[in-house]
A and B are shown apart, each in its own frame.
Chain A
Amino acid sequence: MAEYSVIGTSLAKVDAPERVTGKATYGADLDLPGMLWAKLVRSPHAHARIKHIDTSRAKALPGVKAVITAHDLPSLPKGATAPLVGEVSIDMSAIREIVMASDKVRYHGQVVAAVAATDPFIAEEAAGLVDVDYEPLPVVEDVLQAMQPDAPLVHEDLHTLEEATQERSDQPSNVSTHMVYTRGDVEAGFTVADAVVEKTYTTQMVHQGYLEPQACAARVEPNGRVTLWTSAQGHFTVRTQLVTLLGLPASQLKVVPMEIGGGFGGKALALFEPTAIVLAQKTSRPVKLVVSREEVLRATGPGAPAVITVKAGATKDGKITALTTTMRYDAGAFPGSPVARGLLVGLAPYKLDNMVAEGFDVLTNKPRVQAYRAPGGTPAAFAVEALMDALADEIGVDPLTFRQKNAAEEGDTLPLGMPLNRIGLTEMLKQIETHPCWTTPLEGPHRGRGLALGYWIGGSFTSSAEVKINPDATASIFVGTVDLTGTRTTISQMVADELQLDPQDITITVGDTDSAPFADLSGGSRITYTMSAAAHQASQDVLTQLKERAAEKLKVSVDEVEYQAKRFRAKNDTRNEVSLSELARESVAWGSGPIIGKGSTTRMQPAHAYAAHVADVEIDPETGKVTILRYTCFQDVGKAINPTQVEGQIQGGAVQGIGWALNEEYIFDNGELKNASLLDYRCPVALDLPMIETVLTEVPASEGPYGLRGVGEVPIVPPGAALANAIYRATGTRLYELPMNPERIFWATRGNGTNGSPGTNGSGGA
């Protein structure tokens, strides 16, 4: 492989200076002349029919310029879809209902109307003057209850889709999709097992917790085109959705990406933008819509909870002989939980010859879930990795050895059917064997160590880049991918090495939908991976054009030209040379023309990412509080383009997973969220945590110029089980439900409480 001087170094974030000085412009920082403020009116019921909406009192308030309801949005044919990424499309009629409910509200906090007024106080007051007449309906909140035949129906006309046959059930149901994947003969597999363990695990709804509430602004331009500013994960994706939702041609919409204060999957859908645009159209003034933290928690779309049953058998020598799992994921009020991803992530670390993996996508009267970092993965890995720990224990094999004996390898088939290309799971597990976090004895009472694995498939989809040479021999990169965490920097590093330039000689711009080349949204650990191919291609395009010009000057053929240290030379006469500076200067001269390189990629193989976390904990037996003494994350990253950024991604993801494991949960009462503030929904703070150690494995991915793998998703996957397994070793008690907060641990260690309540936890070992 080529030698790199910038790739592999921890270049400081190229956009850090504006962020540490408060100059970076996020969605809410936009202040347009004549701007109005929007405020949303939300349902106080989790399930109710909307009988009538009277906006007259709100409209009469001085300063109010418009009040809209769902009738003001263009109507959509039922089942209208828009492509989200790749083959995934979304049901836009459901999105329209989330934007603004038409005849029925299906979760507490669902939007029913919106106002625009000259200041935020008037807007707020007016929102309170919108009179909505509701007929409350029975609420179904729990996923297992929702699956019962007599449960209240979230959608009266929804019939279960049987994925294999594509047939719908006769009776309406809250189960929107049922899927089953099978392999081998599980009965035979369980028969030859020396031990079989079966358990049911429960996780709660959690929030992505991005620090910036959603914000957008819209303005209708004099020529009728709409400009929309938004802090979303993909401005082209937002445009695609708006085309369907508002019936506007793409050419009539310019979407400008603002800096984004975290998304983690929760800012992919156009849930607020349509409202801002319709209000701007109605008032002929710019309209800004910023949601409050309470609204963020209540109704922007959290991460899915699940109830998961896993049964696995193994022989005494530590080989898994059969596994079955049933995963029930709560989608909230509209279909689309990440249950299929759950099945994939939970089982992907293992060789499974005999397997049944069954999934249910279930509807409840809760906010429609959205993606949250490795969507679906954390609940699944909590269940599977805790079960594997119990099974290893039952047959008396150490948990690391047990993983090593059953680890998936290149060529194995993933649970949902795809063969694995090159992966680094075995190499990563080998590194744990000798690492002090695993070999150092953990002494003292109430202490324990836990291990768990994680997996993420890694996204692909479309990314594009343009690279141009400036007259001063520097380069500018132009992309359409939103920078969530540092991709401006990693893309710059790649182009710097390809063009042999200093990183200081590179600038990078994320352009709007009018100017930047098309790109899918940022998420799923896909940007650095796909951009490596796109930026490489664009850089090669630039070099080819430069070489052609050099060849002409040097009077040799193009393939006789080589590029090194900013000079183009004839291979057989190295004194015959021309500098990059000269070619760059001439590129703006008359008769020469600019140098612009283009690159894009649309379908790469998955770059599978595996991780393993090792946690040391101490439990306070009086209170049940967990203190994390040491936390180490192992991850196969393929190739770390920027080690500091890779570590930062791993640490951040791990801490989100730790929060999910120990603290975070939505608490509902008849469908109403009771902890809709960051005080009551408690994300980890610095005081709760130790330093997070990272150990990088670099087994190159099968595709891409540098062998890198996307790194962002997988670190949130293992923490639940790593901590549950550690808590078991510290207390002798296994926990079956997240979060493992002090109360739950206190009662569980006293043989009490709701630990593992649903289903089958009486059976099996451990």
Chain B
Amino acid sequence: MKQAIELNVNGEPHAALVDTRETLLDTLRYKLGHMGPKEGCGNGNCGACTVVLNGAVVNACLVFAVEAAGADVTTVEGVAAEGTLHPVQQAFIEHGALQCGFCTPGFIMSAKALLERNPNPSEPEIRLAISGNLCRCTGYDKIVRAIQAASQALSQTA
């Protein structure tokens, strides 16, 4: 069964005709052209599909598209304001916090959300906040360091 929905993605209004079985992740990727969020598992275990839905960090693969009707969604594509990289993105680049990069969109979303609610997280707090995001390439060391660096950069600009 199909249903028409409207939603805002990265501040832009969108409309889509979606299958009622379709996930928000599929709608974002295949109907609205936002390929940033990735599908690593499709059942909430890897975090590659992490987006912000009405202010909450969610796995887009666990949300039905029809549930997101009327919602505000931020994806990794919406993080760099007018082409300027967010300090979290900048820190990931500078600290070598990515290799294949498939997990990166999810980590950027989780890390940014963490620093918004806790600008000076400890190492265990960082590790906890990203424990829903799997990375198989880096061993997390450089990701943790990048988030620490982003936290510092943000506190200097604040």
Contacts and interface: CB of A to CB of B under 8 A. Distances in A.
Given A292-B42, A689-B139, A121 B21 contact: yes
A211 B102 contact: yes
A366 to B, nearest CB: 22
B38 A261 contact: yes
Contact of B77 (A21, A648, A683, A686): A21
Nearest to B43: A677
Given A22-B77, A685-B134, A260 B100 contact: yes
Contacts of A678: 40-41, 43, 45-46, 134
B131 A262 contact: no
Contacts of B19: 119, 121
B102 A656 contact: no
Best-surrounded residue of B21, B96, B130, B132 (most CB of chain A within 10 A): B96
Contacts of A260: 100
B43 A20 contact: no
A21 B36 contact: yes
Contact of B136 (A213, A656, A691): A656
A17 interface: yes
Contacts of A679: 43, 45
Interface in A93-143: 119-121
A677 B44 CA distance: 10
Contacts of A61: none
Contacts of B60: none
A119 to B, nearest CB: 7
Given A211-B134, A212-B38, A687-B127, A692 B141 contact: yes
Interface in B105-158: 105, 108, 124, 126-128, 130-145
Given A22-B77, A648-B99, A678-B45, A16 B93 contact: yes
A22 B36 contact: yes
B127 A686 contact: yes
B29 to A, nearest CB: 8
Interface in B6-44: 19, 21, 26, 29-30, 33-43
Nearest to A685: B131
B4 interface: no
A652 B138 contact: yes
Interface string A16-34: 1101111111101101000
Given A22-B105, A677-B43, A29 B93 contact: no
A506 B37 CA distance: 29
A211 B135 contact: yes
A621 interface: no
A647 B97 CA distance: 11
B93 A262 contact: no
Nearest to A208: B136
A485 B99 contact: yes
Interface in A528-558: none
Most buried by B among A25, A210, A262: A262
Nearest to B147: A686
A375 to B, nearest CB: 16
Interface residues of A, number: 58
Interface string A677-713: 1110001111101011000000000000000000000
Interface in B65-112: 75-77, 79-80, 85, 89, 92-96, 98-105, 108
Nearest to A681: B45
B48 interface: yes
A630 interface: no
A211 B133 CA distance: 10
A13 B96 contact: yes
Interface in A208-243: 208-213
Nearest to B40: A211
Nearest to B33: A31
Contacts of A470: none
B21 to A, nearest CB: 6
A686 B124 CA distance: 9
A648 B96 contact: yes
B41 A293 contact: yes
A31 B30 contact: yes
Interface string A625-662: 00000000000000000001101110111111000000
Contacts of A31: 30, 33
Given A211-B40, A259-B101, A686-B130, A21 B143 contact: no
A651 B141 contact: yes
Contacts of B132: 685
Contacts of A20: 76, 85, 89, 92-93, 98, 101, 104, 108
Q: Which of A20, A259, A484, A647 has the most CB of B within 10 A?
A: A20
Given A211-B48, A678-B46, A678-B134, A21 B76 contact: yes
Contacts of B21: 121
A26 B130 CA distance: 23
A126 to B, nearest CB: 15
Nearest 8 A/B pairs, CB to CB: A22-B36, A261-B102, A19-B101, A655-B139, A651-B139, A22-B76, A678-B45, A644-B96
Given A211-B46, A485-B137, A654-B139, 13 more contacts: A10-B96, A12-B93, A12-B94, A16-B93, A21-B77, A22-B35, A28-B39, A210-B102, A647-B96, A648-B99, A651-B138, A679-B43, A689-B141
Interface of A: 10, 12-13, 15-17, 19-26, 28-29, 31, 119-121, 208-213, 259-262, 264, 292-293, 484-486, 644-645, 647-649, 651-656, 677-679, 683-687, 689, 691-692
20 contacts: A10-B96, A16-B92, A16-B93, A17-B85, A19-B101, A22-B76, A25-B35, A26-B38, A208-B136, A261-B40, A261-B100, A484-B99, A485-B99, A485-B137, A651-B140, A652-B137, A652-B138, A654-B139, A684-B140, A691-B141
